[in-house]
DNA sequence: GTATTTTTTAATGTATGCATTAATTTGCGG
DNA sequence: CCGCAAATTAATGCATACATTAAAAAATAC
């Protein structure tokens, strides 16, 4: 574990800081000095600075001269903006995926994710459901075959990760959700781009409403 | 000019390298060692490295260990991907802008850009036309009031900047284009989100087709 | 007690040095 | 001559040092 880590220090810093942010170990809104972080990660400031710049570009932190690296909190407005972007880009991906002429075989990751969600739901395992849901969305985007969409969607997902995991257990049980997933898969398999886009857009819009409603209901101004 | 530049070296490096990339002084596909760039910019490697990371996150260069900083070329596939993203996000912006209830006054930057395009066209000044066109699109996105969309659209525009300026003079005279702009403006002023989205989407899709057609016609595989 | 200026502190921005290691060149056997 | 191994080169990754300067604290004036 110590000797076989071939990653550069900068890379390690990026990976570890990301995880710490996702786990909430670096609190949203709090600031950390380069020196502290370097100390924590057991390396010098140089790779930490480079990691901070990278994370800033990914929209996870803000580097403020002399005030340290600040973990960006996510407001309801941010959530709204991000889900709007995801809705557009994933709908595009669904449309494009339906145009690729994929065979059943190409769609099996998607199908498996749907099955996993069903299973997780029947076992009331929200965490597993959420993981499978992410897998579905990520694979859908991948099938759309647009590198920019892939990386932007990944960035947006990262930005809402904390907020999603916090609200996961407040959500109404996502029973209906999987029907949408099946319909999207069906439209893609049938090579129907218009339908794929339309269904997925509605699905995403619904998720957005649920999420934003929760933030409102529980007065979550900052995540 | 020397004493009043308050920007940090890293910031200067980012700005100057960006400009050099846009102007083609750093050729697409070519690589440059950190040392060379530092030499060129008259600073040490540290800020150059940081700038390179930033530019990498913006999708303008690729940092390859021991092979230097490579200016990313843009392929027809890239153009296609990027225009798809811009089409989606700007259409969203147009829709949202139409929902904001903007008064004539709020839309005057948009209106001015349209007038500038007309003027530029009548004077056959393509460069001025292009600048005004960019202004129109940037302002449209701004009016959509979504920070993520703003920054993503700016990134995508940067990535195609070189390619656009190269193909500018190969394009058919963009005479009809401004009617679309006026219609979008009209739909926003009228508070008609559906219409605004629809028109803008068609407008963008048309631009996309023209651009991709040009790349095909002139066999531009790499820009 | 509050506002203003001065002093102090400390975090950053940048340069530099050096070990590491990928890439290149050289040398050697076939 | 060609393929492969050893030696060399050089670009990077990282640590470190230090000047700069914003922020904080202290001192002073009001």
Helix (H, G, I), strand (E, B) or coil at A120: helix
Mean per-residue pLDDT over chain A, rounded: 93
Does pLDDT of B3 surpass 80?
no
Cα–Cα distance for residue pair A104/A190, rounded to 1 Å: 10
B193-217 and B177-189 helices cross at what angle (nearest 10)? 160
**How do residues B179-201 score in pLDDT, each as one tens digit?**
999 999 999 999 999 999 999 99
Q: Which of A95, A107, A89, A92 is nearest to A193 (CA)?
A: A95
Cα–Cα distance for residue pair A205/A210, rounded to 1 Å: 9
**How do residues A87-123 score in pLDDT, each as one tens digit?**
999 999 999 999 999 999 999 999 999 999 999 999 9
Starting at the edge strand found earlier in the chain, the sheet holding B68-71 runs B31-32, B68-71, B61-64
- Greatest C-alpha distance within chain B: 56
C1' (C19) to CA (A93) span, angstroms: 47
How many Å lie between the alpha carbon of A117 and the closest alpha carbon of chain B? Answer: 29
State residue B2's pLDDT score. Answer: 37
Does pLDDT of A204 surpass 80?
yes
How many Å lie between the alpha carbon of B190 and the closest alpha carbon of chain A? Answer: 22
**How do residues A50-95 score in pLDDT, each as one tens digit?**
999 999 999 999 999 888 999 999 999 999 999 999 999 999 999 9
Q: Is A197 exposed, middle or buried (0-12, 13-18, 19+ CB in 10 A)?
A: buried
Question: CB–CB of B153/B89 below 8 Å?
Answer: yes
C1' (C18) to CA (B30) span, angstroms: 29
Question: CB–CB of B193/B174 below 8 Å?
Answer: no
Q: What does chain A come to in residues?
A: 223
| For range B59-80, the mean pLDDT | 95
Cβ within 8 Å, pair B152-A152? yes
Residues of B whose CB is below 8 A from A49: 50
Cα–Cα distance for residue pair A169/A129, rounded to 1 Å: 11
> Any idea what DSSP says for residue B44?
-
Cα–Cα distance for residue pair B198/B177, rounded to 1 Å: 15
Segments in chain B forming alpha helices (H): 9-22, 34-41, 45-57, 76-99, 108-122, 126-143, 147-167, 177-189, 193-217
| For range A146-154, the mean pLDDT | 98
Cβ within 8 Å, pair B85-A152? yes
From the CB of residue A22, how many other CB atoms can be counted at a distance below 10 Å? Answer: 14
Does pLDDT of A1 surpass 60?
no
Mean per-residue pLDDT over chain B, rounded: 93
State residue B175's pLDDT score. Answer: 81
Residues of A whose CB is below 8 A from B82: 148
């Amino acid at each position: 574990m110590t000797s076989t880590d071939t990653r550069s220090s900068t890379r390690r810093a990026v990976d570890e800081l990301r995880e710490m942010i996702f786990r909430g170990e670096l609190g949203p809104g709090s600031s950390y000095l380069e020196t502290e972080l370097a100390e924590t990660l057991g390396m010098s400031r140089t790779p930490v600075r480079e990691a901070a710049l990278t994370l800033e570009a990914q929209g996870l932190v803000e580097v403020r001269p002399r005030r340290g690296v600040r973990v960006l909190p996510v407001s309801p407005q941010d959530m709204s903006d991000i889900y709007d972007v995801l809705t557009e880009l994933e709908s595009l991906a669904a449309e494009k995926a339906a145009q690729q002429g994929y065979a059943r075989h190409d769609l099996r990751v998607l199908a498996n994710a749907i099955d996993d969600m069903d299973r997780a739901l029947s076992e009331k395992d929200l965490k597993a459901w959420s993981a499978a849901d992410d897998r579905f969305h990520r694979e859908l985007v991948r099938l759309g075959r647009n590198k920019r969409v892939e990386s932007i969607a990944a960035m947006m997902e990262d930005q809402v990760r904390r907020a999603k995991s916090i609200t996961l257990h407040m959500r109404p049980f996502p029973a209906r959700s999987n029907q949408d997933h099946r319909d999207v898969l069906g439209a893609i398999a049938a090579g129907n781009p218009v339908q794929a886009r339309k269904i997925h857009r509605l699905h995403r819009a619904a998720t957005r409403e649920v999420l934003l409603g929760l933030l409102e209901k529980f007065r979550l101004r900052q995540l």
